[in-house]
Amino acid sequence: MTKVLVATEKPFAKAAVDQIKTIVENAGFDFALLEKYNDKSALLEAVKDATAMIVRSDDVNADVVRAAKNLKIVVRAGAGYDNLDLDACTANNVVAMNTPGQNSNAVAELVFGMLISMVRNAYNGTAGTELRGKKIGIHAYGNVGIYVAKIAKGMGMEVYAFDPFVSADKIKADGVTPLDTVEELYSTCQYVSLHIPATEKTKESINYALLNRMPKGAVLINTARKEVIHADIVKLMKDRSDFAYISDIMPDNKDDFAPFEGRYFFTPKKMGAQTAEANINAGVAAANQIVDYLKNGNTTYKVN
Ligand code: 3PG
């Protein structure tokens, strides 16, 4: 038996699950689904006989990898793979992959969904502000950042980007102004949209000193990871009554933000990639990558 398990605490749209199932079964494999599981034991049980796994932000830690005795491949249907224990995967001969770019547009659209709601005061009847002519900084110009730039330009915003891993020429070719330092990005832009991964290097890197560079009426938009934000953002919001923080990832210290009513917004569950289109794109890509790996040994998108 070759069991392909979809284990998603936050389920895909049904259309995505149906398409994944078809791909898996057409390849002659068995399909299994574990959704909305509340405790880890359900995941540990489901992975026991799985050959392959598709997950989202699900915690694939060493316990899970060890429990999955037959596991050959795990695919994170999405971009960020900080939820996969890559060392455990490698130690147990499990190939780990992601599906870069597949859900990027959905995340970029949510940036503006949340930003417009913030600058229009959550539609409470008072006068807000417009985005046209304002400066937006894109912190990391990857798949999501590129879509954010396109949308921002369409809205008539001035678009800046900082990404030490992308050439200035490539950024310029998109009509975006590349900046040389992260400090410059935050000093220049009233709005900053975060698209950095959570790594040892980036954890807590978005801190008081950096954020305090932002011009008056600053809004930080986080559709990346909560781990990159330093807890001293709370002090900054205390010190600067013009500063707003909107995040698609609920911070662990969410109650600390209660005094800043109207200046923060957190989605209850990560919603950036939660569209039918993104679920289908990422889910289908993950299923195809699994079939291609198990049948042909294709390791494109391997991250370990
Ligand atoms: C990603 O890294 O692809 C996004 O954060 C989406 O995560 P999700 O699949 O858990 O919604």
Which residues lie closer than 8 Å to 294 by C-beta, 6 or more apart?
2, 27, 29, 51, 52, 72, 73
For ligand 1, atom 2, name the residue with the nearest CA.
Answer: 80
Mean pLDDT of 84-103: 98
The ipTM estimated for the assembled molecules is 0.98
- Per the CB < 8 A criterion, the answer to whether 133 and 127 are in contact is no
Distance (Å, whole) CA 84 – CA 59? 6
Q: What are phi and psi of 123, to 5 degrees?
A: 60, 45
What pLDDT sits at residue 140? 98
- Per the CB < 8 A criterion, the answer to whether 10 and 293 are in contact is no
% of the chain with per-residue pLDDT over 90: 100
In the predicted model, what is the mean pLDDT of the chain? 98
What pLDDT sits at residue 83? 98
Fold equal for 3-102+274-296 and 104-266: yes
The highest-level CATH class for domain 3-102+274-296 is alpha beta
For the chain, give every domain's residue range.
Answer: 3-102+274-296, 104-266
- Is residue 56 within 6 Å of ligand 1 at its C-beta? yes
Q: Per-residue b/e over 260-274, b at no fewer than 16 CB within 10 Å?
A: eeebbbbbeebbbbb
Tens digits of residue pLDDT in 233-261: 999 999 999 999 999 999 999 999 999 99
Specify the ligand 1 atom closest to the Cα of 57: 10
Mean pLDDT of 155-180: 98
What pLDDT sits at residue 63? 98
- Is residue 3 within 6 Å of ligand 1 at its C-beta? no
End-to-end CA distance of the chain: 26
Q: Give the pairing type, strands 219-222 and 158-162.
A: unpaired
Domain at 104-266: CATH code: 3.40.50.720
What pLDDT sits at residue 46? 98
Cα of 234 from ligand 1 centre, angstroms: 25
- Is residue 79 within 6 Å of ligand 1 at its C-beta? yes
Tens digits of residue pLDDT in 96-115: 999 999 999 999 999 999 99
What pLDDT sits at residue 61? 98
